[in-house]
Amino acid sequence: MSTETPQIYLITPPVIALETFAPLVARVLDAQDIACLRLSLATRDEDVILRSADTVREIAHARDIPLVIADHVLMVERLGLDGVHLSDPAGRIRKLRDELGADAIIGAYCGQLRHDGMNAVEAGADYASFGPVGQTALGDGKLAERALFEWWSAMIEMPVVAEGALTRDLIADIAPVTDFFAIGDEIWNSADPVAALADLTAPLR
């Protein structure tokens, strides 16, 4: 079981307008302690990704917050990022660890599968992420249940991340058995993301 309060792992929206998002994410990062930031863009436009990563990296690094990018492995070293979050890590982690080195953050999204998480541990990942935790219209309706986090926290030393459709009640329930909560759309879809994050994470204080 986790004996410390879980940390917040912030995920960017899939689509961002830099002129408005840059000051907004800076406000969010200043409002609470954020352990890590994930740049998770839906676009495959290289120019958009480069400009977004440059801007967000400066904001994050000015606050000593590591920035990882979702899936775009080749951007990590090119842009001076801190690592990568793999949404489909199967068979890729060991090779990436060799390429990126021991200091790079490599995270693995493992859905609801304990076995995939254990494979990620053995391959050298820094964390396993499970989700969605809450009900969402996306995906196949399967959830990462509390029991999975409970087992992981009792048996595995590698940090575990809970993400996907989080609510205050879910955070209160899972907090004793997870290391991080990855929060994204839960706050960006609100009129005031700073207030939304404070409300969502109230059970952690």
In the chain, where the domains are located = 7-204
Alpha carbon 49 to its chain's center? 18
71: left (phi over 0), alpha (psi -120 to 50) or beta: left
- DSSP β-bridge partners for residue 41: none
DSSP conformation letters of 142-160: ----HHHHHHHHHH--S-E
CATH of the domain spanning 7-204: 3.20.20.70
Q: What is the largest CA-CA distance in the chain?
A: 45
Q: Show pLDDT as tens, one digit a residue, over the chain (205 residues).
A: 445 899 999 999 999 999 999 999 999 999 999 999 999 999 999 999 999 999 999 999 999 999 999 999 999 999 999 999 999 998 899 999 999 999 999 999 999 999 999 999 999 999 999 999 999 877 788 999 999 999 999 999 999 999 999 999 999 999 999 999 999 999 999 999 999 999 999 999 9
In terms of Cα–Cα distance, which of 133, 149, 141, 144 is closest to 184?
133
Give the integer Cα–Cα distance in Å for 66 and 114: 26
Predicted confidence at residue 1, as pLDDT, reads: 44
Give the integer Cα–Cα distance in Å for 11 and 37: 6
> Which positions ≥6 away from 192 have C-beta within 8 Å?
none
Predicted confidence at residue 3, as pLDDT, reads: 54
Predicted confidence at residue 147, as pLDDT, reads: 98
Predicted confidence at residue 116, as pLDDT, reads: 96
DSSP conformation letters of 14-37: SS--HHHHHHHHHHHHHHS-EEEE
What burial letters (b/e) apply to 100-114, b meaning 16+ CB within 10 Å? Answer: beeebbbbbbbbbeb
